[in-house]
Structure formats: structure tokens, C-alpha cells
Structure 1
């Protein structure tokens, strides 16, 4: 049974208590409404920069340092993650330390503690992280959203080298004050939730309200192809198509479509490229959903000499998905696969992130309700989504290891 306690403190901080039976630890997840969606081009990457400054113990001083030392002695762990529209801070502690963890969270959110020396000390670390990502296998995923969307959702989470180099102490400090304002904060306490956690949440009641971060309020799709040259014998292609946002009803049908066409050994893309023709080993697809936007993607790694053949089959497969003769059995198999994945998440710490991403937009996440909405999806719904979204004229592509000449030949395949 899914039982939550949710509400707002008088200053606007939203809290959500989500106990799990038999849990031994408490997860305190603090979500800040921030990220590239809210950043201007000139300060892109500032939220990720702030993440580094907030959670690095090297920058803890005074009471904050003492609080963390006490928690660390009890085995606590600290982590953080920046997304397109949030910054999440995670503290995991033994159940009896929940109040201390929330005291620590409150102290960690104090923007006045950020010093200019800390900003400069962290800058080369972030620049090195940018360089490391540039040469990682994730590169295609990092740039395909930039190729699909213009504006907030199209900006990279880490920012760009030029903006990271130019960000000033004042810009970062101002951003910290706005991102940590009370009405931009949602707290999720999950796992073992007792009276200590409830008392700890109230400690956040003295946070001040602030000016909300700028939000463009619309999503502009401006697809393009981006090629990153390389001389590796392997190339990676990531195709992306605009999709529905998190709270759209057709999001569920889009996830079923992504599952049928790109997830698992029986998916359409896998069968066409690997099983029938042996053109690729790694073939998969999926979908990503934010509050106001989403995307469906297909990821393929190919040998360079098979690039054009593989791309030709991939494009043909995508174009034919809307013509699939889906049976109720096909749809049911995909739906139940998604439901099983969803239910597995509810038994792990991942559920806290799901709760927080929804609660940040003042929505409650109920796995049973999500499962019910998946099970309403029909074959006709899936075909409708394919016809609506899987159009090559609105397709973006990130091609890693592909040169200009090869990209030109790929464009000819699209004709």
C-alpha cells in the first residue's frame, strides 16, 4: 500500500514522507528547482557548478563540518545529481540519525557559506569533468538533446567550456540564493521514517522565500544533425525524436512504443539491425520525459565499414514502425515489462528520485496508478504515437566518430 504524508511549510518548502516497511535506513533527498531549463545561455552550467560547491566536504566549515563529521561517524553517505530541471542532494543515514540529517541539509543549503576561493578551487575540476565527458561513450547522449531542442532543454547540464571558465563568483552566489529559496525546495524523506524525520523537516521552516528562477515557459523543437569526427573503427549513432512531457496522458503510450521498438531482444530495431542482418551488436532505444518535453531515442553502435548499411536499415525501420501490425499480445507484453520495471524501482532507493521529480512539480507519484495507466494503452494508441512523433523531419542525430563526408552520405540516405 502506498501511503505518503505530503504538505508545505509556511515558507513554501514542500515535504513528502514516504515510509517503506522493513527499511533500515533513511533517505533524505532535497530537490532544488534549477538546472539548464532555467539557465540563461551566458551562465549555462551554473547549477552543476553549484552542486560541486554544496556537497564537497572540503568546503564544509564550522557547524556544517561538525554535523557532517557526526553523520559520517554513523556511516552516512552524501551524493548529488544535476538534471535538466533539478538539483538533487541525497543524504543516506541510519534511521536514528534522520533528524541530524535534516539539520545537516538545512545547513548545507545556506548560500552565504560559498566562498570565492571555493569557486576558483572547483573550476579546474569541472573543466576536467567536461573534458572527460567529451571522450566518454556517453557523448552521444550528452549532445543529442542539444541537437533536438533550442533553449533550456537543449542546454548541456555541465555547461560549455567557455561558460564554465567565465562564470563569476557573484553569478554563482546569486544563483545559489535563488535556487535555495524556500519555495524552490522539495524534500523527500523515504525508507525508515519516524518521528525524528518529521521533526527534522520542520527545521527547514526558517528558509527564506526568494525570486523564482526564470522559465521560458515553452519548448522549441529545432532538430539538426551533429557529427563529432573521430578515427575509431567504431561509430555511434543516437537518433532522437520529440515526445510528450511527463504529465501528458500520451506519455504512457510513448513509453510502450519505445519498449516495443527499441528495448530488449524482441524489439523492432534489434531484430532489423542485429538479428536479421548482423549489422550491429549494441542496439537499444527508450524514452526520456521532463515536465514540458520529452524525447524518444534509438542508440546504435556500428563498425565504420557498416555505417551506411546500418544507417539505411535503421532509418527504414524507424519509418516503418507506425505500420507495425501490433497485436494485443505485443502491447500487453510491453506494458507488463514496463510495469515490472516500475514495481522493481519501488523496492529500491530509486523510488525516492521518482517521488522527488514529481513532487518538484507538486505531483504525487503512485506506482499503482502509473501501472493502471500503462495498462490502458491499446495497440491503436501506440500506432498513433508512432505516427505523431516518429517523423524523420523532426529527427535530431548525434553521430560520434563520423566525418563530414560520411555525414553527407548519410543525409543522402534520408532523401
Structure 2
């Protein structure tokens, strides 16, 4: 996390064939492989076929464990000659294996998931400040983040940030039990619909094995969502959506630090 996908110019220049082969032998080994299959599958035949092919992959011992980076609050504005300003505001949150993820699923759904979300309605529909605005969760095995993205004009850059921060605060103080229950129904319905295809179920099985070491039945996920209380969600909003936790990254033209809300300066 926090590293460029393509790497750095210096590291790419110094890479050798031996480096790449060494990395592959450490990372792409038998103990790191998870195989899942759904649909009209014969387990015995599948195991036999895999044993004759990828079953020959060598074991290399446990792969190196890299600790999650420690999140630090920062603001980075990158000036580029672009038509829009693209910004991301992120906060660190618990990992995929933490039970608080169910509170985060609900918070993300209310905040910026879909056309009925608070950010879409306030930033785009009511104020016309951005064409695209949404939030998303990035949950890994030992770390996580909740991120808000918006594409806006350089003139509206500061106002968008202010509106997003206001929505963070309003979500904590104005959330009602009726809104929470509606969001629970929306989230549960989305989970069921998302798993209608066989490939989606296959991916879920793989992720469950990687994160939890076992399959997580849909019914158990729905029960966990139903267990979440209003007070739990409010506390998580206050703890994680605090301005003290926010990291901002933006790229575009015409941005100035004086346009930032005071809590981000």
C-alpha cells in the first residue's frame, strides 16, 4: 500500500533477470496459491487436473511478511495542466478482518455509494460542484482506508472539500435509526445481488480463504450487518472521519493552499 504500481524509475532501471526470478520464487509458490471453482464442477476431476499442471509448483517456505505502513496525515497538491481537479480524501480504518468493517460498509454506503448517497446528492445534485463524486473502502488483511473521490473545477476545489467535511460531521450528528435501517436493507440487497453470478461467488470464496481461512456464508454476513447498532456507527464516524485523520491528494491546475479548509491547512 502507498507504493506506485509501476514502481520508480530508479528501481526499474536497476532490476535484473535474477531479481525478477528471485521475487517470483518467493512470492509465486505453492503455499501462496488459492484455487476456487464454482458451477458444474467435479471436485475429484478438478483436483486431478490441477495436480498434473500447477501441482508441480515448488514450495518455498513462508513468504516474507511486510508490515502495513503507518498512516500519517498529509496534504499533497500536484499541479498539472488538466481540465479538472481530481482529488482524494482518505482516512485510515480497520482491516478486513476487523468486525468494525460492517459499520464501515454502512458508513460508506450512506456517504458515497450510489446516486442516493449523501455526497452525490449534496455535491452533485444540489450544488453542481462535481460530475463524479463517490466514496469507497479499500480493506486489506491488516490495514484499510475509506476514500472520497471527486472530479471538480479549480474554482470549486475548496468548496468541494468544505462540503465533504460538512457531510462527515452531519453524518455523525444527524443519522437516525430509520436511515440506518434503510441503509442496512440497501447493503444486504446489494450483497445478494452481487453474488448472483458464478464468477462472483468464485471470487468471494477465494477472498474468504485469503482473509479468513474459511468460507463466510452470506447468511452470517447479513446477521452481522443486522447486529450493528446506531451508537456503534456514530462512534465509528467520530473516530475515523475526524479531520485529524484526513490525508488529501489532488492533481490539477489552479489549486492553491489558501483554498483549503482551515482544518486541512
TM-score normalised according to structure 2 size? 0.89
Question: Is 1:183 paired with 2:31?
Answer: yes
* Residue of structure 2 aligned with 1:262, choices 99, 106, 112: 112
Unaligned ranges ≥5, structure 1: 1-152
* Residue of structure 2 aligned with 1:368, choices 212, 219, 238: 219
Q: Deviations over 1:83-135 (max 9, x none)?
A: xxxxxxxxxxxxxxxxxxxxxxxxxxxxxxxxxxxxxxxxxxxxxxxxxxxxx
Against the structure 1 CA distance between its residues 155 and 253, is the aligned structure 2 distance closer, same or farther, given a 3 Å change threshold?
same
Distance in 2, Cα, partners of 1:170 & 1:186: 26
**Residue 130 of structure 2: aligned partner:** 280
Is this contact kept in 2: 1:246–1:290, CA < 8 A?
yes
Match runs of 1:315-326 below 5 Å: 315-324=165-174, 326=175
User: 2:256 aligns to what SS in structure 1?
Assistant: helix
User: 2:38 aligns to what SS in structure 1?
Assistant: strand
Q: Deviations over 1:248-284 (max 9, x none)?
A: 1000111100111112233222232223322222221
Question: Is 1:378 paired with 2:240?
Answer: no
Higher-RCO chain (CA-CA 8 Å, sequence separation at least 6): 2
Give the stretch that moved more between structures: 220-229 or 285-294: 220-229
- Distance apart, 1:413 and its partner CA: 6.1
Match runs of 1:10-25 below 5 Å: none
- Distance apart, 1:211 and its partner CA: 3.2
**Residue 331 of structure 1: aligned partner:** 180
**Residue 244 of structure 1: aligned partner:** 94
Against the structure 1 CA distance between its residues 308 and 207, is the aligned structure 2 distance closer, same or farther, given a 3 Å change threshold?
closer
**Residue 163 of structure 1: aligned partner:** 11
- Distance apart, 1:364 and its partner CA: 1.9
Is this contact kept in 2: 1:182–1:208, CA < 8 A?
yes
**Residue 155 of structure 2: aligned partner:** 305
Unaligned ranges ≥5, structure 2: none
- Distance apart, 1:206 and its partner CA: 4.2
- Distance apart, 1:294 and its partner CA: 1.0
Is this contact kept in 2: 1:225–1:396, CA < 8 A?
yes
User: 1:221 aligns to what SS in structure 2?
Assistant: coil
User: 2:73 aligns to what SS in structure 1?
Assistant: coil
TM-score normalised according to structure 1 size? 0.58
Is this contact kept in 2: 1:253–1:381, CA < 8 A?
yes
Is this contact kept in 2: 1:227–1:402, CA < 8 A?
no
Distance in 2, Cα, partners of 1:272 & 1:223: 26
**Residue 146 of structure 2: aligned partner:** 296
**Residue 96 of structure 1: aligned partner:** none
Against the structure 1 CA distance between its residues 156 and 367, is the aligned structure 2 distance closer, same or farther, given a 3 Å change threshold?
farther
Against the structure 1 CA distance between its residues 206 and 232, is the aligned structure 2 distance closer, same or farther, given a 3 Å change threshold?
closer
Against the structure 1 CA distance between its residues 219 and 307, is the aligned structure 2 distance closer, same or farther, given a 3 Å change threshold?
closer
Distance in 1, Cα, partners of 2:8 & 2:86: 22
Count of residues in correspondence between the two structures: 261
Distance in 1, Cα, partners of 2:223 & 2:71: 31
Is this contact kept in 2: 1:223–1:395, CA < 8 A?
yes
